[in-house]
Amino acid sequence: MKQLKLFAPNDLRIVEAEKPEPGKGEALVRVKACAICTLEQRLFRGSMRIYYPIVPGHEAAGEVVEVGPGSITDLKPGEKVALDLIYRCGECYWCRVGQSNHCAFRFSKDVQTLGGFSEYIVVKTKQCFKVSGSVPFEIAALSEPLSCCVHSLRAINIELGEDLLVVGAGTMGLIHVLLAKTMGTRVFVVDPIKSRLDKAVALGADFPITFNPEEMKNEVLKHTDGRGVDAAIITAPTEEAFRNAAKVVRKGGRLAVYSAYSEEFDIPVNANYLHRSEISVVGVEGRSEKDFLIATKILSNGLIDLSPLVSSVFGPEQATAAIEKAGKPESYRVVLDFSK
């Protein structure tokens, strides 16, 4: 079988590997599609390292080929599944307290880490989440980013009728928009690029705002009777985005730090402001098994349409070009098609 293996930064090669066989509690899955996330882009550039060599890819979907003997599962060959490719040991402290997205061994070299850039993959059966046959594989692969957005909206307890500010209209910002609209909220979106704001409006955003601190403040206050939004999610990795989002959250509101930052910085918020306004600030990262299940149910039930966020589809032999394309500002999700 063919795999895309990253041997060093900017050194991604197609290699031949033995097709694995599933053991007890495992399933062999024929990968059909795997999207390229910022994680894969960082690994490719070398700005993030797990270990080398590694088979990247964690936004994957495929078809069950075989279930290991003696497995206790209702998975059957031929079923379409989205794959949760972040390892969860089930035994460390974080797994036991229900925070398996922080599993102590999730990036261990001794376990299956990532691996979606491959024709076939063996995973634990619990890592397979069924998806309706009507959902295209390239959309089923987006169950993972969708589940991360489910996780962040659950973390700030979005409720019917609330106002949500999404800072950044890239892929993850727009998935937040789509999800929030199904939850009965009004959505403000801030981004410096007009084409992205236009896309946000096409996907249901109520108030597009060019990223300008004064304009953001004026527009938010104008449409919320001077209160500010009930909650904000920062998907743009800049200090300025954090600082200005915090200023337009109402008293008693919530602020989620969704984006990862390439450079560390101290939270630029006055402590007295947090004290007097009772704003809650929460970091959100990854997703739980429940988040992943919710995401696959949302897609299977046709509650949102993620197809506008698939910018391009490449074959695995074009993987380097696909990764470069994925990093362009005009791109949303770029997908590798392993089905041919």
Residue 211: which of 179, 170, 180 has the closest Cα? 170
The C-alpha atoms of residue 29 and residue 79 are separated, in whole angstroms, by: 10
Classify domain 157-283 at the CATH topology level: Rossmann fold (3.40.50)
Convert the pLDDT of each residue in 8-19 to its tens digit.
999 999 999 999
Place of tokens 């104008």: 222
Strands 163-167 and 229-234: parallel
State what percent of residues in the chain have pLDDT above 70.
Answer: 99
Mean pLDDT of the residues in the chain? 94
Tell me what the mean pLDDT of segment 207-219 comes to: 91
> Per-residue DSSP letters for 196-241?
HHHHHHHTT-SEEEES-HHHHHHHHHHHTTTS-EEEEEE-S--HHH
pLDDT at 70 over 80: yes
pLDDT at 269 over 80: no
Residue 108 confidence class, pLDDT cut points 50, 70, 90: confident
In this prediction, residue 69 carries a pLDDT of: 95
The C-alpha atoms of residue 136 and residue 156 are separated, in whole angstroms, by: 30
Residue 280 confidence class, pLDDT cut points 50, 70, 90: very high
pLDDT at 3 over 90: yes
Total-model pTM: 0.94
pLDDT at 268 over 90: no
pLDDT at 265 over 80: no
Residue 47 confidence class, pLDDT cut points 50, 70, 90: confident
In this prediction, residue 18 carries a pLDDT of: 95
State what percent of residues in the chain have pLDDT above 90.
Answer: 84
318: which 2 tokens?
């074009």
Place of tokens 């999730």: 106
Place of tokens 């009728």: 161
In this prediction, residue 85 carries a pLDDT of: 95
Tell me what the mean pLDDT of segment 51-71 comes to: 96
Q: What angle, rounded to 10 degrees, do the helices at 213-223 and 239-246 form? A: 30
The C-alpha atoms of residue 245 and residue 84 are separated, in whole angstroms, by: 31
CB 261 within 8 A of CB 236: no
In this prediction, residue 30 carries a pLDDT of: 98
The C-alpha atoms of residue 188 and residue 115 are separated, in whole angstroms, by: 36
Residue 336: its H or E element: strand 333-337
295: which 2 tokens?
């995401």
123 bridge partner residues: 27
Residue spans per domain, the chain:
2-144+287-337, 157-283
CB 65 within 8 A of CB 19: no
Tell me what the mean pLDDT of segment 108-134 comes to: 93
CB 41 within 8 A of CB 326: yes
In this prediction, residue 285 carries a pLDDT of: 92
Classify domain 2-144+287-337 at the CATH topology level: Quinone Oxidoreductase; Chain A, domain 1 (3.90.180)
Strands 80-84 and 128-130: antiparallel
Give the CA radius of gyration of the chain: 20
